[in-house]
Amino acid sequence: MNLVVEADGGSRGNPGPAGYGAVVKAADGEILAETADAIGVATNNIAEYQGLIAGLRSALAVGGDGATVEVRMDSKLVIEQMAGRWKIKNERLRPLALEAGTLARRLRVTWKWIPRERNRDADRLANEAMDAAAKGTTWRSGTPPTTQSGTTSPRGAATPPATTERASPPPGSPFGRSFPTTAHPSSSTAEPLFDLTPEPASSAAAEPSPSITESTSRRTTGGGWRGPSTTATSFLLLRHGETPFSVDRRFSGTGDPELTPTGQAQAEAAATRLSAPPYAIDVIVSSPLRRARATAEAVAARTGAPILVEEPLREVDFGDWEGHTFTEIQRHWPGELKSWLADPAVPPPGGESFAEATERVSAARDRLLLDHNGKTILIVSHVTPIKILLRLALLAPPEALYRMHLDVASLSAVDHFPDGPDLVTKLNDTSHLP
């Protein structure tokens, strides 16, 4: 399904009473859903992000996971940040961008800036919600407020007549010229609390920021049916080397065995591969468990990349099954094993379910995408977290976790595009191993 989301938000006072509006349209312009709400006292940018989040949720409700969506907003800030071209400099926007990004990754989203006059439906909804809140009521679809003369206001009763002016673009804007904007209370121009550009505000003629320069030089061409036009954030997913538990095919979760000599050699082989072209690792992110950290340290010694430890990337907790073989579990816990194999939401006795692990892994993924946008990240982890990251990239159901196999020290890879689908480019590659 091809959908269009138009979203907006505004604040009367910036910060002041704020609201958002969003509309979901079919490709032919038919309105399929609309939503709006007041959010209390907030800034323009916060309201705009809230409008985006509401619009993405509505698109999921209409089209479901995997629907193709073009998001259109007149907020240059939100569009550029969500497309990964501008950094998120204010911490108050970061959790909103994180939530929007999580929703967007369930869809096939492209990001498009439009002039304010082409975003009238979402702008009207935002103002209707603010007007309703000012009157002590709640916005309802199809009941726009009226002016004192009894006629419907195109921007809500409290909105003054629109005027068109010429506004200078933000420093470093790709437009390189002035562009028309409509002045009204929810306009996000001249936002005083947040950075509107990827460059310092004091340098109108400054060179592009390092992040923009690097993204241009590291542009990645996407595969698949659509050609993403922005830089990928690349996840290289390396499973740790062999341990005594993997030799005996025992469940190894939060237990902390070390690498065997063979496992150490596998880590070195992976390090040799990853330290040579075409790989160029910017940062290594490791599970806190020793088998993963030892593998990560081998790669760091060859590449010079720093290591960050992410606790959510640890292996799933197998509870009472830790250290047991599949045969032993089948003998002692036959009913529990059957339930566990049938439903990813069922945990082992005293352990953690795959559904619970998915929540922490997906949250860690979203943080990494925000903090290392456009970079190449080596994630050294375990079977379950790596399978989860692959499943999410493929938009596959949770049951797909049971249908993937990952060898020790195997390499998988996912490219995350802000304006295109995630692309799995490797799965269980062991060509570097002897």
- What digits encode the pLDDT tens for the residues 218-229? 333 444 444 444
- What digits encode the pLDDT tens for the residues 78-105? 999 998 888 888 888 988 999 999 999 9
Domain identity same for 124 and 239: no
Q: Does any domain span residue 91?
A: yes
Q: How many residues does the chain have?
A: 434
Q: Show which of 102, 135, 168 is a domain's final residue.
A: 135
Domain identity same for 374 and 238: yes
Which H or E run contains 26?
Answer: strand 16-26
Q: Is 381:287 a contact under the CB 8 Å cutoff?
A: yes
Q: Does any domain span residue 268?
A: yes
- What digits encode the pLDDT tens for the residues 14-30? 888 999 999 999 999 99
CATH number, residue 39 = 3.30.420.10
Domain identity same for 360 and 248: yes
End-to-end CA distance of the chain: 46
Q: Does any domain span residue 254?
A: yes
Q: Is 222:297 a contact under the CB 8 Å cutoff?
A: no
pLDDT confidence of residue 55: 96
**3-state SS string for 246-315:** HHCCECCCCCCCCCCHHHHHHHHHHHHHHCCCCCCCCEEEECCCHHHHHHHHHHHHHHCCCEEECHHHCC
Number of H helices, E strands in the chain: 12, 13
pLDDT confidence of residue 235: 97
Domain identity same for 121 and 243: no
pLDDT confidence of residue 85: 83
Q: Is 115:179 a contact under the CB 8 Å cutoff?
A: yes
Peptide linkage before 200 cis (omega within 30 of 0): no
Peptide linkage before 15 cis (omega within 30 of 0): yes
Q: Does any domain span residue 228?
A: no
CATH number, residue 394 = 3.40.50.1240
pLDDT confidence of residue 157: 33
Q: Does any domain span residue 214?
A: no
**Binding-site positions:** 291
Return phi, psi of residue 193, to 5°. -100, -20
pLDDT confidence of residue 142: 53
**Binding-site positions for substrate:** 291
Domain identity same for 263 and 404: yes
Domain that holds residue 339: 233-429
Residues labelled catalytic: 240, 315
Q: How many domains does the chain have?
A: 2
The CA distances from residue 298 to 63, 264, 280, 292, in Å, are: 45, 8, 15, 10
Domain identity same for 237 and 128: no
pLDDT confidence of residue 88: 87
- What one-character DSSP code corresponds to residue 399? G
Extract the tokens encoding 397. Answer: 């159901």
- Extract the residue ranges of the chain whose pLDDT is less than 50: 143-229
Q: Does any domain span residue 291?
A: yes
Q: Does any domain span residue 120?
A: yes
pLDDT confidence of residue 151: 33
Q: Does any domain span residue 352?
A: yes
What is the pTM for the complete model shown? 0.59
